[in-house]
Amino acid sequence: MAKRIFMATAAKKDYLKGLVPYRIKRYWAYIAATVVALVLPWIKVGDNHFFLLNFDHKQLHFMFVRFDMQELYIMPFLLMLLFLGIFALTAFAGRAWCGWACPQTIFRVLYRDFLETKLLGIRKNIKNKQKEPDWSKTENKVKEGIAILIWSALALVAAADFMWYFVPPEDFFKYLQNPAEHTVMIGFVLGVAAFLVADVVFIKESFCVYICPYSRVQSVLFDEDTLMAVYDPIRGGKIYEGHGEEKHKIVNKQKDVLAQNPDNECTACES
Protein backbone atom coordinates (compact mmCIF):
# COMPACT_ATOMS: atom_id res chain seq x y z
CA MET A 1 0.00 0.00 0.00
CA ALA A 2 2.83 2.41 1.00
CA LYS A 3 4.47 1.71 -2.40
CA ARG A 4 1.21 2.50 -4.24
CA ILE A 5 0.89 5.79 -2.33
CA PHE A 6 4.48 6.73 -3.18
CA MET A 7 3.99 5.91 -6.89
CA ALA A 8 0.77 7.92 -7.03
CA THR A 9 2.47 10.93 -5.39
CA ALA A 10 5.46 10.67 -7.74
CA ALA A 11 3.13 10.48 -10.75
CA LYS A 12 1.37 13.65 -9.57
CA LYS A 13 4.69 15.43 -9.29
CA ASP A 14 5.43 14.48 -12.94
CA TYR A 15 2.14 15.94 -14.08
CA LEU A 16 2.82 19.14 -12.15
CA LYS A 17 6.31 19.52 -13.66
CA GLY A 18 6.87 22.91 -15.31
CA LEU A 19 3.59 24.27 -13.91
CA VAL A 20 3.94 27.63 -12.11
CA PRO A 21 1.51 27.40 -9.15
CA TYR A 22 -1.25 30.01 -8.99
CA ARG A 23 0.11 30.84 -5.52
CA ILE A 24 3.27 32.16 -7.23
CA LYS A 25 1.36 33.84 -10.06
CA ARG A 26 -0.65 35.72 -7.43
CA TYR A 27 2.58 37.18 -6.06
CA TRP A 28 3.39 38.48 -9.55
CA ALA A 29 -0.09 40.06 -9.70
CA TYR A 30 0.45 41.68 -6.27
CA ILE A 31 3.80 43.17 -7.38
CA ALA A 32 2.24 44.47 -10.62
CA ALA A 33 -0.76 46.02 -8.76
CA THR A 34 1.56 47.66 -6.20
CA VAL A 35 3.87 49.10 -8.86
CA VAL A 36 0.90 50.47 -10.85
CA ALA A 37 -0.68 52.04 -7.72
CA LEU A 38 2.61 53.67 -6.70
CA VAL A 39 3.75 54.86 -10.13
CA LEU A 40 0.44 56.04 -11.65
CA PRO A 41 0.11 59.29 -9.64
CA TRP A 42 3.57 60.36 -10.89
CA ILE A 43 2.78 59.96 -14.57
CA LYS A 44 1.58 63.10 -16.31
CA VAL A 45 0.61 63.66 -19.94
CA GLY A 46 0.29 67.33 -20.89
CA ASP A 47 0.25 68.24 -17.16
CA ASN A 48 -2.71 65.92 -16.55
CA HIS A 49 -2.83 62.77 -14.38
CA PHE A 50 -4.42 59.41 -15.14
CA PHE A 51 -6.79 59.82 -12.18
CA LEU A 52 -6.91 62.78 -9.82
CA LEU A 53 -9.87 64.13 -7.87
CA ASN A 54 -8.40 67.40 -6.68
CA PHE A 55 -10.61 69.40 -4.31
CA ASP A 56 -7.81 71.91 -3.87
CA HIS A 57 -7.83 73.12 -7.49
CA LYS A 58 -11.41 71.91 -8.11
CA GLN A 59 -10.41 69.57 -10.92
CA LEU A 60 -10.97 66.00 -12.02
CA HIS A 61 -8.33 64.32 -14.19
CA PHE A 62 -9.32 61.09 -15.90
CA MET A 63 -7.34 59.24 -18.59
CA PHE A 64 -5.05 62.28 -18.81
CA VAL A 65 -7.96 64.60 -19.64
CA ARG A 66 -8.78 67.50 -17.31
CA PHE A 67 -12.38 68.28 -16.30
CA ASP A 68 -13.39 71.21 -14.12
CA MET A 69 -16.00 71.27 -11.34
CA GLN A 70 -18.87 72.12 -13.73
CA GLU A 71 -18.17 68.80 -15.43
CA LEU A 72 -18.18 66.82 -12.19
CA TYR A 73 -21.49 65.25 -13.24
CA ILE A 74 -19.38 62.61 -15.03
CA MET A 75 -18.27 61.27 -11.61
CA PRO A 76 -21.47 59.24 -10.99
CA PHE A 77 -21.02 57.64 -14.42
CA LEU A 78 -17.43 56.72 -13.57
CA LEU A 79 -18.61 55.19 -10.29
CA MET A 80 -21.38 53.30 -12.07
CA LEU A 81 -18.87 51.95 -14.62
CA LEU A 82 -16.55 50.94 -11.80
CA PHE A 83 -19.29 49.04 -9.95
CA LEU A 84 -20.64 47.43 -13.13
CA GLY A 85 -17.08 46.34 -14.01
CA ILE A 86 -16.58 44.80 -10.55
CA PHE A 87 -19.98 43.09 -10.67
CA ALA A 88 -19.25 41.68 -14.16
CA LEU A 89 -15.83 40.44 -13.01
CA THR A 90 -17.50 38.75 -10.01
CA ALA A 91 -20.12 37.06 -12.17
CA PHE A 92 -17.43 35.70 -14.54
CA ALA A 93 -14.47 35.06 -12.27
CA GLY A 94 -15.86 34.85 -8.73
CA ARG A 95 -13.53 36.20 -6.06
CA ALA A 96 -10.75 37.08 -8.54
CA TRP A 97 -10.55 40.66 -7.26
CA CYS A 98 -10.32 39.47 -3.62
CA GLY A 99 -7.61 36.93 -4.35
CA TRP A 100 -5.51 38.75 -6.92
CA ALA A 101 -5.75 42.52 -6.51
CA CYS A 102 -7.55 43.69 -3.34
CA PRO A 103 -5.25 45.86 -1.17
CA GLN A 104 -6.55 44.02 1.93
CA THR A 105 -5.25 40.70 0.56
CA ILE A 106 -1.96 42.23 -0.62
CA PHE A 107 -1.37 43.91 2.75
CA ARG A 108 -2.15 40.73 4.72
CA VAL A 109 0.16 38.65 2.49
CA LEU A 110 2.88 41.25 2.97
CA TYR A 111 2.41 41.36 6.74
CA ARG A 112 1.59 37.74 7.65
CA ASP A 113 3.45 35.81 4.94
CA PHE A 114 6.47 38.05 4.35
CA LEU A 115 7.10 40.05 7.56
CA GLU A 116 5.79 37.61 10.21
CA THR A 117 6.80 34.36 8.50
CA LYS A 118 9.70 34.83 6.07
CA LEU A 119 11.51 37.80 7.60
CA LEU A 120 10.98 37.35 11.35
CA GLY A 121 10.06 33.65 11.60
CA ILE A 122 7.18 34.23 14.06
CA ARG A 123 5.14 31.67 12.13
CA LYS A 124 6.89 28.47 11.05
CA ASN A 125 5.30 28.43 7.59
CA ILE A 126 2.21 29.65 5.76
CA LYS A 127 0.75 26.20 5.15
CA ASN A 128 -1.98 26.78 7.70
CA LYS A 129 -2.71 30.51 7.71
CA GLN A 130 -5.39 30.15 10.40
CA LYS A 131 -2.92 28.80 12.98
CA GLU A 132 -1.82 31.50 15.44
CA PRO A 133 1.85 31.61 16.51
CA ASP A 134 2.78 30.81 20.13
CA TRP A 135 2.23 34.24 21.77
CA SER A 136 3.37 33.00 25.21
CA LYS A 137 7.01 33.23 23.98
CA THR A 138 8.66 36.61 24.74
CA GLU A 139 10.75 36.26 21.58
CA ASN A 140 7.59 36.17 19.45
CA LYS A 141 6.14 39.22 21.23
CA VAL A 142 9.34 41.23 20.55
CA LYS A 143 9.35 40.12 16.91
CA GLU A 144 5.67 41.10 16.59
CA GLY A 145 6.58 44.58 17.88
CA ILE A 146 9.25 44.83 15.15
CA ALA A 147 6.74 43.62 12.53
CA ILE A 148 4.24 46.31 13.66
CA LEU A 149 6.93 49.01 13.41
CA ILE A 150 7.94 47.94 9.87
CA TRP A 151 4.30 47.71 8.82
CA SER A 152 3.55 51.16 10.31
CA ALA A 153 6.24 52.67 8.04
CA LEU A 154 4.81 50.82 5.02
CA ALA A 155 1.26 51.89 6.02
CA LEU A 156 2.39 55.53 5.93
CA VAL A 157 3.67 55.03 2.37
CA ALA A 158 0.38 53.34 1.39
CA ALA A 159 -1.65 56.17 2.98
CA ALA A 160 0.47 58.81 1.17
CA ASP A 161 0.02 56.91 -2.11
CA PHE A 162 -3.77 56.93 -1.55
CA MET A 163 -3.62 60.67 -0.91
CA TRP A 164 -1.75 61.26 -4.22
CA TYR A 165 -5.00 60.49 -6.06
CA PHE A 166 -6.51 63.57 -4.35
CA VAL A 167 -3.47 65.79 -3.80
CA PRO A 168 -0.91 65.19 -6.59
CA PRO A 169 2.67 64.32 -5.52
CA GLU A 170 4.01 67.68 -6.80
CA ASP A 171 1.66 69.50 -4.32
CA PHE A 172 1.84 66.85 -1.60
CA PHE A 173 5.57 67.26 -0.94
CA LYS A 174 5.29 71.06 -1.13
CA TYR A 175 2.50 70.99 1.49
CA LEU A 176 4.54 68.66 3.74
CA GLN A 177 7.17 71.40 4.09
CA ASN A 178 4.52 73.61 5.64
CA PRO A 179 2.56 71.20 7.89
CA ALA A 180 0.88 73.87 10.08
CA GLU A 181 -1.12 75.08 7.05
CA HIS A 182 -2.06 71.59 5.84
CA THR A 183 -3.24 69.85 8.99
CA VAL A 184 -6.28 68.29 7.26
CA MET A 185 -4.11 66.57 4.63
CA ILE A 186 -1.56 65.39 7.20
CA GLY A 187 -4.30 64.29 9.63
CA PHE A 188 -5.97 62.34 6.81
CA VAL A 189 -2.73 60.54 5.91
CA LEU A 190 -2.02 59.69 9.57
CA GLY A 191 -5.63 58.54 10.06
CA VAL A 192 -5.51 56.23 7.03
CA ALA A 193 -2.12 54.85 8.16
CA ALA A 194 -3.48 54.21 11.70
CA PHE A 195 -6.51 52.42 10.21
CA LEU A 196 -4.21 50.25 8.04
CA VAL A 197 -2.18 49.23 11.10
CA ALA A 198 -5.35 48.37 13.07
CA ASP A 199 -6.85 46.52 10.10
CA VAL A 200 -3.82 44.48 9.01
CA VAL A 201 -2.41 43.70 12.47
CA PHE A 202 -5.56 43.29 14.60
CA ILE A 203 -8.73 43.01 12.48
CA LYS A 204 -7.08 40.71 9.91
CA GLU A 205 -9.45 38.51 7.83
CA SER A 206 -12.41 39.59 10.01
CA PHE A 207 -12.44 42.74 7.81
CA CYS A 208 -13.62 40.62 4.86
CA VAL A 209 -16.10 38.66 6.99
CA TYR A 210 -17.73 41.51 8.95
CA ILE A 211 -16.88 44.88 7.35
CA CYS A 212 -16.26 44.74 3.58
CA PRO A 213 -19.51 45.59 1.73
CA TYR A 214 -18.33 43.82 -1.44
CA SER A 215 -18.17 40.43 0.31
CA ARG A 216 -21.83 40.92 1.34
CA VAL A 217 -23.01 40.99 -2.30
CA GLN A 218 -20.65 38.45 -3.85
CA SER A 219 -22.75 35.34 -3.32
CA VAL A 220 -25.80 36.80 -5.12
CA LEU A 221 -23.60 37.57 -8.17
CA PHE A 222 -22.45 33.96 -8.57
CA ASP A 223 -24.18 31.52 -10.91
CA GLU A 224 -23.41 28.00 -12.09
CA ASP A 225 -20.83 29.21 -14.64
CA THR A 226 -18.86 31.44 -12.26
CA LEU A 227 -15.24 30.38 -11.86
CA MET A 228 -14.65 29.51 -8.20
CA ALA A 229 -11.64 28.27 -6.30
CA VAL A 230 -13.39 25.77 -4.05
CA TYR A 231 -12.43 22.36 -2.73
CA ASP A 232 -13.30 19.55 -5.14
CA PRO A 233 -13.90 16.28 -3.20
CA ILE A 234 -13.90 14.27 -6.44
CA ARG A 235 -10.33 15.39 -7.19
CA GLY A 236 -9.04 15.79 -3.65
CA GLY A 237 -10.89 13.11 -1.66
CA LYS A 238 -13.54 13.25 1.05
CA ILE A 239 -12.29 15.19 4.08
CA TYR A 240 -15.59 16.33 5.65
CA GLU A 241 -18.77 14.55 6.64
CA GLY A 242 -22.16 15.96 7.63
CA HIS A 243 -23.76 19.36 6.95
CA GLY A 244 -24.06 22.71 8.77
CA GLU A 245 -23.19 22.52 12.45
CA GLU A 246 -22.93 18.74 12.18
CA LYS A 247 -20.09 19.05 9.66
CA HIS A 248 -16.84 17.59 10.92
CA LYS A 249 -13.46 16.58 9.58
CA ILE A 250 -12.84 12.90 9.02
CA VAL A 251 -9.15 13.03 7.96
CA ASN A 252 -6.23 15.20 9.12
CA LYS A 253 -3.21 13.73 7.34
CA GLN A 254 -2.39 13.25 3.67
CA LYS A 255 -1.76 9.53 4.21
CA ASP A 256 -5.38 9.13 5.40
CA VAL A 257 -6.64 10.88 2.25
CA LEU A 258 -4.43 8.65 0.08
CA ALA A 259 -5.65 5.60 2.01
CA GLN A 260 -9.19 6.35 0.69
CA ASN A 261 -7.85 6.40 -2.87
CA PRO A 262 -4.18 6.78 -3.95
CA ASP A 263 -5.29 9.17 -6.74
CA ASN A 264 -6.71 11.71 -4.26
CA GLU A 265 -4.81 15.01 -4.53
CA CYS A 266 -5.64 16.72 -1.20
CA THR A 267 -2.43 17.53 0.68
CA ALA A 268 -4.24 18.15 4.03
CA CYS A 269 -2.66 21.60 4.16
CA GLU A 270 -5.66 23.03 6.11
CA SER A 271 -5.25 26.44 4.47
Chain contacts with ligand SF4 (rule: CB under 6 A): 97-98, 102, 104-105, 207-208, 212, 214-215
- In the chain, alpha helices (H): 2-16, 22-39, 74-93, 96-100, 103-108, 138-163, 169-176, 183-197, 206, 213-221, 233-236, 254-260
Backbone φ and ψ of 65, nearest 5°:
-115, 140
Q: Minimum Å distance from CB 130 to ligand SF4?
A: 16
Closest by Cα among 93, 113, 92, 107 to 23? 113
For residue 230, the one-letter residue type is V
> Considering beta carbons, is residue 71 or 205 the nearer one to ligand SF4?
205
**85 or 179: CB nearest ligand SF4:** 85
Strand 44-45, strand 48-49: pairing: antiparallel
The nearer residue to ligand SF4, 97 or 166, going by C-beta atoms, is 97
Give least dist CB 76 to ligand SF4, A.
Answer: 22
Q: State how far Cα 6 lies from the chain centre.
A: 36
Least distance between ligand SF4 and beta carbon 49 (Å)? 25
Report in angstroms how near the CB of residue 99 gets to ligand SF4 at its nearest. 7
Give the single-character DSSP code of 240.
E
Other CB atoms within 10 Å distance of the CB of residue 23: 9
Q: Which is nearer to ligand SF4, 161 or 268 (CB)?
A: 161
> Least distance to ligand SF4 from the beta carbon of 212, Å?
3
Q: Smaller CB distance to ligand SF4: residue 66 or 129?
A: 129
Cα separation, 48 vs 55, in Å, equals 15
Q: With respect to ligand SF4, which residue has the nearer C-beta, 86 or 150?
A: 86
Q: How far is the CB of 104 from ligand SF4 (least distance, A)?
A: 4
User: Which H/E stretch holds residue 62?
Assistant: strand 59-62
